Amino acid sequence: MLRRLLPLMMLTAAPALADDVTTFTLDNGMEVVVIEDHRAQAVVHMVWYKAGSADEPLGSSGVAHFLEHLMFKATDTMASGQLSAVVAANGGDDNAFTSYDYTAYFQRVAADRLDLMMQMEADRMNNLALTEDDITTERQVILEERAQRTENNPNAIAREQIRAALFMNHRYGLPIIGWEHEMRQLDMADVHAWYDTYYSPNDAILIVAGDVRPDEVLAMAQAHYGPIPSEPTLPARLRPEEPPQRAERRLIYADPRVSQPYLTRSYLAPERDPGDQTAAAALVYLAEVLGGSSFTSVLGEKLTFDTQTAIFTGAGYDGDTLDDGTFSLTVVPAEGISLQTAEAAMDTAIADFLTTGPEMAQMERIRTQLLASEIYAKDSVEGLARRYGAALSIGLSVQDVQDWPDVLQAVTAQEVLDAARALFNPDHAVTGWVVPSREEL
Amino acid sequence: MLRRLLPLMMLTAAPALADDVTTFTLDNGMEVVVIEDHRAQAVVHMVWYKAGSADEPLGSSGVAHFLEHLMFKATDTMASGQLSAVVAANGGDDNAFTSYDYTAYFQRVAADRLDLMMQMEADRMNNLALTEDDITTERQVILEERAQRTENNPNAIAREQIRAALFMNHRYGLPIIGWEHEMRQLDMADVHAWYDTYYSPNDAILIVAGDVRPDEVLAMAQAHYGPIPSEPTLPARLRPEEPPQRAERRLIYADPRVSQPYLTRSYLAPERDPGDQTAAAALVYLAEVLGGSSFTSVLGEKLTFDTQTAIFTGAGYDGDTLDDGTFSLTVVPAEGISLQTAEAAMDTAIADFLTTGPEMAQMERIRTQLLASEIYAKDSVEGLARRYGAALSIGLSVQDVQDWPDVLQAVTAQEVLDAARALFNPDHAVTGWVVPSREEL
């Protein structure tokens, strides 16, 4: 427990903090990553498939997420729901998630139950036994999920429309959950084509984190995952890239359920690249510099604090992606302030920033925050497992993950300014106004 | 020659005007359409493949058009360029074109050369013998074509960006010629996958128009195209459809080569559907009503003639498509008039129109024009052949083509108004401002 108590200032120099990671590759191509953490007798067991919604075939949006649901149905030897029931009966919990670039399954249990987890996860990687009834039932479930998460939420609809306008060619422009009209068409053939191609050891990464020893994990992985044949027709992961984006785009989403008009602008932004994470790290700072704190961030200070133009400002960067990610700005104008005025104020604040760059004090504040959050992150075994799984699924290496905190610490004010200047091209962005009705514009 | 001289008023009742069309289907699935026209001893021979740029695989935009170029290379028995040389030596001409929904090849020659045309066209349907050198050379040609047609033309770039914003899911949002970065990647494997799948008799329509007899054409077609095996893996023609479009979209394309700022708005519009062409016919009228003549059209009269707000107004409807087409409005403001003012004037004119609908005199003028142009169209054997080929390639029937003039004649003012009311949903449109520089806005 000692390292949790070290004072912040000492931590940069502490090599003992490097994660204790061992990697293997099984003969069938499955990657194995073991993260040792013996603080508690628990283990997190995850399988990540390097296939997400952006890998889906034309016209089959949502199939990655649909299969994620169906993976909890019966296999040749397990009943529907049995895996989760067994995990719960063993005092653990389990879940799954689908993203643009990957689909992942995990269980958290006592360390001595790892073998059982592998047995069940390997079973459903290879022996899923879906029925037409499963397809029909679960399709209703995902449609209902879409209704709840997207259709019932004007902000989610606005985000969906903005992404669709931002990406002209790349499948990041489609929602992970799928377009409703395509979800309705998903059938057994779509699901099986996806499962048979991607749910294969040579497309999977096994992450085991916790109170385990690498040699034991390897032996277990060989026993359970080793016999599954690799998929010879696994396609190269080449997705359609964006053409040059040459026109400044805007949209207005009007929905009576919008209680508070706001504007949000999304830019295409470079992602973290293997061996080359500096630009992405600079954008992490930029999001904090522009939209982090209401008091000290550029937008917070100028729009909220100084002029009361806005009641909220924010900035976000998502570069944990295989291809180009996004950088977003959001401004919620104060009562009586039009979106036009608020947007002009935002643009002025950014233009001013592009001449001055970040203040040193601000850089140091963020540097310290990032150092602290990197340290806190190590406290969660599940968080660590997710971090490695997500990174490896988007083409980063274990080394990239381990370098990331240092790359973050080394970012300079000039790099943040350079990243901002490269980022803020109006032709690479969509500005959305989200309003209760068009008449009020 | 008599029917060309008939006075206009008599023509609606003349059944002799129906095109003399005979259809067959070969055993291998190839459709054959013979249009008899014995006025001259000439023949137009066309093969239409029901595969265009909107059928291309993800990441391979431009492959349909690329293959169109490569089809003039060598086959097992013909040298590169030989087909066109033979056509020319026989006093004919030939060409090819690629669209969103089809790719077509045609020759126009003396009627007694038809057999030779079929022999050569059938040969390249099955025996194309491409070399790596062909790929390399012709890829440079299509890149150069893109440079000339698109990159050198700011209006073409603006159209490309607008289509990409208009279509959120459908492949109509991609340029027929392809995105440059994807064109550069097109290789022998891409071309052959396309050729092997789609250049098959069961995906092809043979159109022969001119001084021929159906039984002779059928015999020749059986001899030349009959032996080519059908393609068992030809996929169903299901393309990704648009999700609900829920946000009004705008873009600004700034390019110093733009000499005259203008605005153009594209709406998604219903296409001609088999057996149900009335809505499309109404949109043909609507384009004329709104943007046809500078003197009598709604936009021409209100923006150009009455107020000198604009120096040009136009409207266009493209519904000759397999899936949803487009309806576009264009306004070029007069000197000293801002785009904002011009757009507001356009919106007011359309809003006024939506309350009144078209004037009866205008409807009758357009009805007469359409009748005349339908009659003139019959004068061109090549035009007729194209009309049938294009229509059949987008899923219409011979009957639909023959019904079209009557459907057009039967459109009422109320149907035009209804079509306009359904069309002008701001959430289904992209408004583009094309300007020399953003600073002038």
Assess contact for B342 and B435: CB atoms under 8 A.
no
Dump the DSSP string for A52-64. -GGGPPTT-TTHH
Instruction: Tell whether the model's pLDDT for residue B14 goes beyond 50.
Output: no
Contacts 24+ apart (CB under 8 A), B164-167: B164/A168, B164/A169, B164/A243, B165/A165, B165/A168, B165/A247, B165/A249, B165/B249, B165/B251, B165/B430, B166/B249, B166/B266, B166/B268, B166/B326, B166/B429, B166/B430, B167/B242
pLDDT range class, residue A3, cuts 50, 70, 90: very low
Q: For all residues of chain B together, what is the average pLDDT?
A: 94
Do A252 and B251 lie within an 8 Å CB cutoff?
no
Pair of tokens at residue A131: 């029925």
Looking at per-residue confidence, does A341 or B379 come out higher? Answer: A341
Interface A-B: count of C-beta contacts within 8 A: 102
Mean pLDDT of B384-400: 96
Distance CA A379, CA A37 (A): 10
Mean pLDDT of A136-157: 97
Instruction: Tell whether the model's pLDDT for residue B19 goes beyond 90.
Output: no
B59 touches chain A (CB under 8 A): yes
Q: What is the pLDDT of residue A14?
A: 37
Pair of tokens at residue A161: 């429309």
Distance CA A31, CA A401 (A): 16
Pair of tokens at residue A54: 């952006």
Q: How far is CA A325 from the centre of its chain?
A: 10
- Amino acid identity of residue B151, one-letter, is E
Closest residue in chain A to residue B246, using alpha carbons only: A253
Q: What is the pLDDT of residue A312?
A: 95
Instruction: Tell whether the model's pLDDT for residue B376 goes beyond 90.
Output: no
Mean pLDDT of A364-375: 92
Instruction: Tell whether the model's pLDDT for residue A118 goes beyond 90.
Output: yes
Mean pLDDT of B412-433: 98
Instruction: Tell whether the model's pLDDT for residue B31 goes beyond 60.
Output: yes
Q: What is the pLDDT of residue A439?
A: 81
Distance CA A126, CA A200 (A): 8
Tell me which chain A residues have a C-beta less than 8 angstroms from the C-beta of B340.
Answer: none
Do B164 and A164 lie within an 8 Å CB cutoff?
no
* Structure-token match 């057994």, residue found: A188
Partner residue opposite A249 with nearest CB, options B169, B243, B251? B251
A63 touches chain B (CB under 8 A): no
pTM of the full structure: 0.90
Tell me which chain A residues have a C-beta less than 8 angstroms from the C-beta of B165.
Answer: 165, 168, 247, 249
pLDDT range class, residue B270, cuts 50, 70, 90: very high
| Backbone φ and ψ of A6, nearest 5° | -60, 140
User: Is residue B81 packed enough to be buried (19+ CB in 10 Å), middle (13-18) or exposed (0-12)?
Assistant: exposed
Q: Give B347-369 pLDDT, tens digit per residue.
A: 999 999 999 999 999 999 999 99
With residue A343 as reference, give the H or E element that holds it. Answer: helix A339-356
- Amino acid identity of residue B342, one-letter, is A
Instruction: Tell whether the model's pLDDT for residue B208 goes beyond 50.
Output: yes
Mean pLDDT of B23-27: 97
Q: What is the pLDDT of residue A9?
A: 37
Is there a catalytic annotation at residue B68? yes
Q: What is the pLDDT of residue B1?
A: 33
Looking at per-residue confidence, does B237 or B198 come out higher? Answer: B198
Do B247 and A158 lie within an 8 Å CB cutoff?
yes
pLDDT range class, residue A15, cuts 50, 70, 90: very low
Assess contact for B35 and B385: CB atoms under 8 A.
yes
Mean pLDDT of A349-367: 96
Assess contact for A151 and A255: CB atoms under 8 A.
no
Q: What is the pLDDT of residue A378?
A: 82
pLDDT range class, residue A379, cuts 50, 70, 90: confident
Mean pLDDT of B98-127: 97
Q: What is the pLDDT of residue B4?
A: 38
Closest residue in chain A to residue B184, using alpha carbons only: A243
Partner residue opposite A243 with nearest CB, options B180, B248, B426? B180
Q: What is the pLDDT of residue B18?
A: 65
Q: Catalytic one among B68, B138, B231, B288?
A: B68
Closest residue in chain B to residue A183, using alpha carbons only: B243
**Strand B262-269 and strand B325-333: pairing?**
antiparallel
Partner residue opposite B169 with nearest CB, options A158, A174, A246? A174
Partner residue opposite B252 with nearest CB, options A58, A158, A247? A247
Closest residue in chain B to residue A237, using alpha carbons only: B59
- Among B388, B410, B395, smallest CA distance to B278 is for B410
- Angstroms from A164 CA to nearest CA on chain B: 6
Do A181 and B243 lie within an 8 Å CB cutoff?
yes
Q: Does ipTM exceed 0.90?
A: no
A236 touches chain B (CB under 8 A): no
Instruction: Tell whether the model's pLDDT for residue B281 goes beyond 80.
Output: yes
Pick from A131-145, B11-25, B279-293: least confident:
B11-25
Pair of tokens at residue A142: 């995902």
Partner residue opposite B253 with nearest CB, options A161, A246, A438? A246
pLDDT range class, residue A18, cuts 50, 70, 90: low
Do B179 and A173 lie within an 8 Å CB cutoff?
no
Assess contact for B317 and B269: CB atoms under 8 A.
yes
No. of H helices and E strands in chain B? Answer: 15, 11
Assess contact for A209 and A39: CB atoms under 8 A.
no
Q: Catalytic one among A56, A68, A138, A160?
A: A68
Q: What angle do CA A319, A325, A328 make, to 5 degrees?
A: 90
Closest residue in chain A to residue B174, using alpha carbons only: A169
Mean pLDDT of B146-172: 97
Distance CA A325, CA A322 (A): 8
- Cβ neighbours for A2, distance < 8 A, ≥ 6 positions apart: none
Q: Give B43-86 pLDDT, tens digit per residue.
A: 999 999 999 999 999 999 999 999 999 999 999 999 999 999 99
Residue B47 CB coordination number (10 Å): 27
Mean pLDDT of A239-255: 96
Tell me which chain B residues have a C-beta less than 8 angstroms from the C-beta of A179.
Answer: 169, 243
Do B59 and A250 lie within an 8 Å CB cutoff?
no
Distance CA B323, CA A116 (A): 51
Q: What is the pLDDT of residue B112?
A: 96
Tell me which chain B residues have a C-beta less than 8 angstroms from the C-beta of A57.
Answer: 58
Q: Give A44-97 pLDDT, tens digit per residue.
A: 999 999 999 999 999 999 999 999 999 999 999 999 999 999 999 999 999 999
Distance CA A342, CA B216 (A): 74
Looking at per-residue confidence, does B176 or B237 come out higher? Answer: B176
